[in-house]
Amino acid sequence: MENSHFPLTEDQIQSYNEKGYLVIQGFFNAPETKLLQRWTQEVHDLPRTPDASYMPYEEVNAQGKRVLCRTENYANSHAGFNSFLRGQRMLSVLEQLAAEPMLLFKEKINYKLAGSGGFSPHIDANAYTHVKNIKHLTVLAAVDEMTPENGGLDVVDGSHRTEIKLGEDRCIDPAWVESQKWTSCTLQPGDIMVFGSYLAHRSGANTSSKDRRAIYATYNCKAEGDLHDSYYEDRRKLWPATHMRKKGETYEEGRLRYLLLKLLKMAAQSPKERAEYLVSSLEQHGQGDYIGESISQLEHCLQAAHNAQKSGARNELIIAALLHDIGQIIPLESTKEVRMNLKNSAENVGRVGHERIGSEYLRSLGFNPSVCQLVESHVAAKRYLTAVNHSYYDSLSSASKKSLEFQGGPFKGADLAAFEQDPLRDEMVALRLWDDAAKVPGIEDSTPRAREYLNLIAAHLEAQEVA
Report the CATH number at residue 446.
1.10.3210.10
Query: Is the same domain home to 25 and 166?
Result: yes
What is the number of alpha carbons within 13 Å of residue 293 lying toward its C-beta? 24
* Per-residue model confidence as pLDDT tens digits over 145-173: 999 999 999 999 999 999 998 876 667 88
Asked whether the CA dihedral 297, 300, 305, 306 is positive or negative, the reply is positive
Spatial contact of 378 and 435, defined as CB atoms under 8 Å apart = yes
Query: Is the same domain home to 337 and 299?
Result: yes
Q: Which of 262, 278, 296 is the last residue of a domain?
A: 262
Q: Which of 227, 247, 262 is the last residue of a domain?
A: 262
1 within some domain? no
Is the whole-model pTM more than 0.95? no
Domain ranges, residue 116: 10-262
211 within some domain? yes
16 within some domain? yes
Alpha helices, DSSP H, located in 240-288: 252-259, 271-285
Task: Tell me how many domains the chain contains.
Answer: 2
Query: Is the same domain home to 256 and 322?
Result: no
Query: Which contiguous run of DSSP H or E holds residue 107?
Result: strand 102-112
Cα 447–326–343 angle (5° rounding)?
165
293 within some domain? yes
Query: Is the same domain home to 438 and 296?
Result: yes
3 within some domain? no
Query: Is the same domain home to 170 and 305?
Result: no
Measured CA distances, 182 to 52, 147, 396 (Å):
40, 14, 53
Q: How far is CA 24 from the centre of its chain?
A: 30
Task: Report the b/e string of 124-159 with b at 16+ CB within 10 A.
Answer: bbebbeebeebbbbbbbbbbbbbbebbbbbbbbbeb
Spatial contact of 271 and 458, defined as CB atoms under 8 Å apart = yes
Query: Is the same domain home to 257 and 270?
Result: no
Per-residue pLDDT of the chain (467 residues; tens, 9 = 90+): 889 999 999 999 999 999 999 999 999 999 999 999 999 999 999 999 989 999 999 875 555 567 888 999 999 999 999 999 999 999 999 999 999 999 999 999 999 988 777 777 889 886 654 444 446 899 999 999 999 999 999 999 999 999 998 876 667 888 898 899 999 999 999 999 999 999 999 998 888 889 999 999 999 999 989 999 999 998 999 889 989 988 777 676 676 566 544 433 444 468 888 898 889 888 888 877 665 667 888 999 999 999 999 999 999 999 999 999 998 887 655 555 555 554 443 333 333 467 888 888 898 888 999 999 999 998 899 999 999 999 999 988 887 788 788 778 899 999 999 999 999 999 999 999 999 899 999 999 999 999 999 999 999 999 988 76
The CATH number for 48's domain is 2.60.120.620
**E strands of 211-271, at which residues?**
212-221
162 within some domain? yes
Query: Is the same domain home to 196 and 323?
Result: no
114 within some domain? yes
Query: Is the same domain home to 258 and 280?
Result: no
For residue 452, give the DSSP letter: G
Asked whether the CA dihedral 464, 335, 67, 439 is positive or negative, the reply is negative
Q: Which of 229, 244, 262 is the last residue of a domain?
A: 262
Query: Is the same domain home to 331 and 419?
Result: yes
Query: Is the same domain home to 283 and 216?
Result: no
Query: Is the same domain home to 278 and 410?
Result: yes
Query: Is the same domain home to 306 and 355?
Result: yes
The C-alpha atoms of residue 373 and residue 430 are separated, in whole angstroms, by: 14
2 within some domain? no
